[in-house]
Amino acid sequence: MEGLEIDNILKLDKLSSELEYEKAISIYGRLRWMLRDDKSLITAKQHLKALIKQYEEAHWQDEAGISSKQIRESDNAEKIVYLESKFIQKRKELIREKLKESGIAQQDLAKILGHRPNYMSELINGVRPFSRDDIIVLHRLFDLDLKDLVPPFLKLEVAYHIKQTLNELKNKKTKINLRLTDLEAE
């Protein structure tokens, strides 16, 4: 969902799914806290607020028109965003713990990675994605497991494609089973 990265938020004219809506709410909450240190984020926060309101008015205002399918999609989106937020929080805590152990400030880590301090805050708070190089440096610098640095989530369209292909392969009696999301265990 590249559209909801901080650089792209202002380019969006609408949210197009429950998942985008839930991610927007999550990012909006993180931006609220980050504004204390970086006032340049206010425009993105205000635009995100308008997108959220627009989506709610279009999809949730008419109570009688809300379908059970829409509620299921909303519940699944909430679960996905919850799992992503939980991952981001754990990664943030691990990085901060390693910074403290090593006596390195977050601003110093920003210099090491070649980023400005506010950008580093956006990375750590999950508003921007870490680059591959950032992940490798964090892994090597702090001896962090890659599984704790790289989100294990697939884009929904990729997950659906894989699931559809695996279903087709099952007809050929393959012995592969892949749980694409933590939601499938339910």
CA distance 45 to 13: 14
Do 135 and 162 lie in a common domain? Answer: no
**Do residues 86 and 160 share a domain?**
no
111 and 41 fall within a common domain: yes
Could you give the number of structural domains in the chain? 2
- 180 and 102: one domain? no
Question: Which position has the higher pLDDT, 170 or 117?
Answer: 117
Tens digits of per-residue pLDDT, 49-81? 999 999 999 999 988 889 999 999 999 899 989
pLDDT over threshold 90, residue 180: no
Mean of all residue pLDDT scores within the chain: 86
Residue 38 token pair: 């970086």
- Domain identity same for 63 and 93: yes
CA angle 183, 150, 36 (to 5 degrees): 95
In the three-class reduction of DSSP (H, G, I as helix; E, B as strand; rest coil), residue 154 is classed as coil
Let me know whether 143 and 164 are in one domain: no
**Parent domain of 137:** 2-148
Tokens of 105: 């400030």
Based on the fold, state whether residues 89 and 177 are members of the same structural domain: no
Are both 64 and 130 inside the same structural domain?
Answer: yes
What would the mean pLDDT of 105-134 be, rounded to a whole number? 93
143/161 same-domain check: no
Give the model's pLDDT for residue 152: 85
Tell whether 108 and 125 lie within a shared domain.
yes
Q: Do 32 and 101 lie in a common domain?
A: yes
Using CA atoms, how far residue 5 sits from 10, 102, 120, in Å, is 10, 30, 14
Do both 61 and 133 map to the same domain?
yes
- Lowest-pLDDT range of 11-15, 52-56, 111-115, 158-162: 158-162
**pLDDT band of 147, cuts 50, 70, 90:** very high
Residue-level pLDDT at 164: 81
Q: State what percent of residues in the chain have pLDDT above 70.
A: 88
Q: What is the pLDDT of residue 141?
A: 96
Q: How far apart are CA 91 and CA 160, in angstroms?
A: 27
Mean pLDDT, range 16-37, rounded to an integer = 89
